[in-house]
Amino acid sequence: MSGREVCHGHSGEKVGRPSALTPEVCDRIVQAKKAGCPDWVAAQSAGISTTTYYELLKRAEDEESGPARDLLEAIKRAEAEAYLHAMVAWRREMAGNWRAGVAYIDRVDRGRFCSAQRSSPKGPEAPGEERLDLSQLTAEELEILERRYRTDAEGEGQ
């Protein structure tokens, strides 16, 4: 180097590895979660390792705002939407299948109607059971989900 030349680190350019959290990666992860895919499939479909995926989520939990936090909140909404879609499909199936009804009740009201040998911990605080927090959805998103539910419920009656 001569004169006013500076090294890469002092040139004002970004230094280090590029972030794995690109808009394309975020979109692919959210789409996979909307489809109901598990974490490892979402990561693989986005072209990142599961380790990177979980590191992004850990960073998001520690941040109050930023791209990682935005991704975490989008994932939560996508998971809620996938869960709701599955529950609507399950309820639709209950009309002609009593086993689906029993399974639904057992899932929603965990353990209330099962025998003592099969009983499981009751309530949302059961170990390993995490409830989706629909309060994270906007009013507009909740209205869309509600309309979908009503449309599906009306279709059941026909």
Task: Say yes or no to pLDDT of 130 above 80.
Answer: no
The type of residue at 75 is I
Q: What is the pLDDT of residues 35-88, one digit of tens each?
A: 999 999 999 999 999 999 999 999 999 989 888 999 999 999 999 999 888 888
Residue 93 located in a structural domain: yes
Please give the residue that has the higher pLDDT: either 52 or 19. Answer: 52
Task: Say yes or no to pLDDT of 92 above 70.
Answer: yes
Residue 6 located in a structural domain: no
Residue that is written with structure tokens 């009013």 in the block = 139
Residue 96 located in a structural domain: yes
This prediction has a pTM of 0.57
pLDDT, averaged across the chain: 77
User: What confidence score (pLDDT) does residue 73 get?
Assistant: 94
Range of the domain at 81: 19-124+133-156
Helices (H) and strands (E) in the chain, counts: 6, 0
Task: Classify residue 87 by burial, with Cβ atoms within 10 Å: 0-12, 13-18, 19+.
Answer: middle
Task: Say yes or no to pLDDT of 131 above 60.
Answer: no
**In the structure encoding, which two tokens stand for residue 124, read together?**
């949302």
Residue that is written with structure tokens 């998971």 in the block = 79
Residue 9 located in a structural domain: no
- How many domains, in total, are found in the chain? 1
Q: What are phi and psi of 97, to 5 degrees?
A: -145, 105
Residue 107 located in a structural domain: yes
User: What confidence score (pLDDT) does residue 120 get?
Assistant: 44
Residue 4 located in a structural domain: no
